[in-house]
Amino acid sequence: MRMSKARHTRSRWFLLAAVLVVLGACGGGGSGDDVAATTTAPAKQSVLETTTTEVPASTTSTPDEDEPTTTSTSTSTSTSTTTTTEAVEDPGEESDVDEEDCALVPNGSCSGMNFSGQDLAGAVIPGIDLTGANLEGAILDGALMVGADLTGANLAGASLSNTNLAGAVLSDIRAPAAMFFHTDLSHTDLTRSDLTAAMMVEADLKSANMAGAQTDGLVDRRSFWCSTIASNGTLRNDSCQGGSED
């Protein structure tokens, strides 16, 4: 009887020990899972924080890079517009100045102007400034141009019949094949003028200075030579006694 009780008591102790062992094993596993979960969670958080920090940085740098590009484009456009405006204004200004300065009136100023081929017959323009003007092929028949300045003007092929150029300055003019019919050239300065193949018929050359003039092929018919300095620098008085040279 006593021995059965003792066995029964031992069985209880063994069962209690087994339960404790099982409980201990379960408790340890639970602790391990908690630790692992706790360790993993911070890792995920740190990854998220890092990603979140980098994205704003990328977003901030993008506008900074775009802004300089926009600024440079605006500057380039402004420069192009200014250049175009200047190019349009300049020709208009030059044209206005030319029109205002030149007037075919006595003592007017038309230096360097282009009158090639124009009909200026009968113009009354004494003392006018036509230095360097282009009068090629122009018709100046019967024009009154006493004391005019035509230094360096182009009179190639121009017609000057009955034109009064008394006392005019005609130095360095280019007048090849020009027609001087009954033209008053008295007291004119014709030094270094180009009169190649020009025609002078009954022209008045009294006291004219033709020193250095080119007279190759010049046709002279009954012109008046008196106190005239010829192209070679000699004084011609062929007509002073009422005669004429053919």
The dihedrals phi and psi of 216, each to the nearest 5 degrees, come to -60, 125
Which DSSP state fits 124?
B
Q: Is the pLDDT of residue 215 over 60?
A: yes
Q: Is the pLDDT of residue 45 over 50?
A: no
Determine whether 5 is exposed, middle or buried from the number of CB atoms within 10 Å of its CB (0-12, 13-18, 19+).
exposed
Q: Side chain identity at 197, as an amino acid letter?
A: A
* Burial profile 102-136: b = 16 or more Cβ within 10 angstroms, e = fewer: bebeeebebbbbebeebebeebebbebbbbebbbb
Q: Is the pLDDT of residue 34 over 70?
A: no
> Distance between CA 80 and CA 87 in Å, rounded?
11
Cβ-Cβ contacts under 8 Å for 230 (sequence gap 6 or more): 210, 211, 236
**Percent of the chain's residues with pLDDT above 90:** 56
pLDDT range class, residue 84, cuts 50, 70, 90: very low
Asked if residues 201 and 221 have their Cβ atoms less than 8 Å apart, the reply is yes
Q: Please, which residues bridge with residue 219 across strands? A: 199
Q: What is the pLDDT of residue 25?
A: 59
Q: How, if at all, do strands 179-181 and 199-201 pair?
A: parallel
CB atoms under 10 Å from CB of 221, counted, come to 13
Q: Classify domain 103-246 by CATH architecture.
A: 3 Solenoid (2.160)
| Token digits of residue 57 | 């940085």
Q: What is the pLDDT of residue 101?
A: 76
> Distance between CA 159 and CA 162 in Å, rounded?
9
pLDDT range class, residue 19, cuts 50, 70, 90: low
pLDDT range class, residue 89, cuts 50, 70, 90: very low
Mean pLDDT confidence for 4-16: 63
Highest mean pLDDT among 20-24, 39-43, 46-50, 145-149: 145-149
Q: Side chain identity at 96, as an amino acid letter?
A: D
Q: Side chain identity at 185, as an amino acid letter?
A: L
Q: Is the pLDDT of residue 170 over 90?
A: yes
Mean pLDDT of all residues belonging to the chain: 75
The predicted-structure confidence for 110-167, as pLDDT tens digits, reads as follows 999 999 999 999 999 999 999 999 999 999 999 999 999 999 999 999 999 999 999 9
Asked if residues 193 and 175 have their Cβ atoms less than 8 Å apart, the reply is yes
